[in-house]
Amino acid sequence: MKTSTLPSGEKPLSALVVDDESRARKNLSQLLQKYCSGIQVCGEASTLAQATDKIHDLKPDVLFQDICMPGTLGLEYVEQMPQPAPQVVFVTAYNHYALRALKAGAVDYLLKPLRVDELQKATEKLVHKHRQNRIPDASVLIKNFFEQYQNQQLEKIALPTQGRIEIVSLNDIIYIESDNSYSTVFTTTHNITVCKSIRVFEEILAPQHFFRIHNSYLINLRYITTVDIHDSTAHLKGSYTLPVAKRRLKELKEMVTACFCHF
């Protein structure tokens, strides 16, 4: 992989890496050091309190910020930072916050696992913005985001059944259950079985506050009432109790916290 180069005599931007997982911090710092000559990591932080102290002490040009941090969303932390603030690149495993991040003025939004070419493109944007000494054009970023995620404002879906097509509001869907190549959509009024795999629904509905809690279940987070950590179950309005895969439990907790911050 070719290393991005910085023009002769130009000083690299100082960067603070903020992530609660040490392995993620180390990996990102190493990638920046190895492949992005326009960035020099000046420090790392595992908590937002540490980040605040290091921003004050080190005054970094750039913040590489994870979104799901203990206590407070990294996104909310950035939104509340006093100005002037470092330029921000969000690095996260979730795409649900991309629009909000861009509106908050983020220079870029990178999904884990990181790709070196995308990291280098983000670095180039940072260097360019620093040269221009101006706030990123949020309208352009948002336009590009909508072109990437055309379903972001999806409100209804068409479900083909035998002899007809039902138009269903996303707000009326409680959860979706998989049965091999079929899926049953449980709504507030009735159930609809369609010849579509649950993976298809997940790809379309993930940006709309739907979350895959199990190989067999995709739930609408708006209907969740309780997450039982000990039993690994999710309770939904309508007296539904569904199993949560243990590997998805931590992410479900983070998603529920994040989603209800918006309500």
- Reported as a single tens digit per residue, the pLDDT across 188-234 is 999 999 998 998 898 888 877 899 999 999 999 999 999 999 999 99
Helix, strand or coil for residue 186? strand
Asked whether residue 60 carries a pLDDT value surpassing 90, the answer given is yes
Answer left, alpha or beta for residue 7, where phi above 0 means left and psi between -120 and 50 means alpha. Answer: beta
Q: How confident is the model at residue 259 (pLDDT cuts 50, 70, 90)?
A: low
pTM: 0.51
For all residues of the chain together, what is the average pLDDT?
Answer: 84
Helix, strand or coil for residue 99? helix
Pick the CATH number of 13-148 from 3.40.50.2300, 2.60.40.1120, 3.75.10.20, 3.40.50.970: 3.40.50.2300
Range(s) within the chain of domains with CATH label 3.40.50.2300: 13-148
* pLDDT tens for each residue of 93-148: 877 778 788 777 889 999 888 999 999 999 999 988 887 754 445 555 555 545 55
Residue of 30 and 141 predicted with greater confidence: 30
Query: In the predicted model, what is the mean pLDDT of residues 175-196?
Result: 93
Asked whether residue 180 carries a pLDDT value surpassing 60, the answer given is yes
DSSP state, 188?
Answer: S
What is 156-261's CATH number?
2.40.50.1020
Measured CA to CA, the distance from residue 66 to residue 189 in angstroms comes to 39
- Token representation of residue 211: 């979350």
Residue of 178 and 204 predicted with greater confidence: 178
Measured CA to CA, the distance from residue 194 to residue 54 in angstroms comes to 53
74 membership: H or E segment, kind and range: helix 74-79
- What is the reported pLDDT for 85? 85
- What is the reported pLDDT for 262? 45
Measured CA to CA, the distance from residue 40 to residue 60 in angstroms comes to 10
* Percentage of residues in the chain having pLDDT higher than 90: 49
Asked whether residue 173 carries a pLDDT value surpassing 50, the answer given is yes
- What is the reported pLDDT for 134? 46
Residue type, 154: L
Q: What is the 3-state secondary structure (H, E, C) of 120-172?
A: HHHHHHHHHHHHHCCCCCHHHHHHHHHHHCCCCCCCEEEEEECCEEEEEEHHH
Query: In the predicted model, what is the mean pLDDT of residues 241-247?
Result: 94
Asked whether residue 3 carries a pLDDT value surpassing 70, the answer given is no
* pLDDT tens for each residue of 62-76: 999 998 887 777 778
Range(s) within the chain of domains with CATH label 2.40.50.1020: 156-261
